[in-house]
Chains A and B, each alone.
Chain A
Amino acid sequence: DIQMTQSPPSLSASLGDKVTITCQASQNINKYIAWYQQKPGKAPRQLIRYTSTLVSGTPSRFSGSGSGRDYSFSISNVESEDIASYYCLQYDNLPWTFGGGTKLELK
């Protein structure tokens, strides 16, 4: 199984900051990574697929990049509505595997 090492587990940011979350796969995942946002008590919402493609409705302050084993997800100009947990998912190989998550909090 492909392991997805997501870091950091938690992140504290001020409004307007840029934050970056990384996911490292245990092997090449050929850019088949998606990023999800989950607010407390809510279902996850897909923000980005295939490394950098924004899903319809995703604000442009969200972005993704990477290749091979190393991928990153960024939020520029953090807004209060971005306070949530974020997860990466590799869907290159079965079983699909998620990163452990990053909890974004306000400083």
Chain B
Amino acid sequence: EVQLVETGGGLVQPGRSLKLSCVASGFTFSSYWMYWIRQAPGKGLEWVSSINTDGGSTYYPDSVKGRFTISRDNAENTVYLQMNSLRSEDTATYYCAKEGNPWGQGTLVTVSS
């Protein structure tokens, strides 16, 4: 059974950092691009980051570029999202995903003083 399990969310002050993890199981992790997508409370979906199979190529929208870093450890079947200089507008549920289904259950990040 394919599973994606995110951890690392929580309450953090503006300007601080947080690192999310997503552990994958049930498929050949190293063969798949991985993605982070977020959803602010009561709002729509926003693509946050993509990483290719070997981690050599990463992509971000302007809203997080320079602040967020996606990485992966294929030996540990894990994808990460390092989030620096967090802002209130980064408050959202962060989902880990691969092509198709399922997505992870999401982890809530709240940026507030």
Contact = CB atoms under 8 A, between A and B. Distances in A.
Interface of A: 1, 36, 38, 43-46, 49, 55-57, 87, 89, 94-101
A45 B45 contact: no
Contacts of A55: 100-101
Contacts of A56: 100-101
Contacts of B60: 95
A19 to B, nearest CB: 19
Interface stretch (B9-17, B66-74, B80-88, B102-110): B102-110
Contact of A46 (B46, B59, B62, B101): B101
Given A43-B95, A44-B95, A97 B102 contact: no
Interface of B: 37, 44-47, 50, 59-62, 95, 99-106
| Interface SS of A by simple majority | loop
B47 A87 contact: no
B96 to A, nearest CB: 9
A82 B58 CA distance: 35
27 contacts: A1-B61, A38-B45, A43-B95, A43-B102, A43-B103, A43-B105, A43-B106, A44-B37, A44-B95, A45-B101, A45-B103, A49-B99, A56-B100, A56-B101, A87-B45, A89-B45, A89-B47, A94-B59, A95-B59, A95-B60, A95-B61, A97-B47, A98-B44, A98-B45, A98-B46, A98-B47, A99-B44
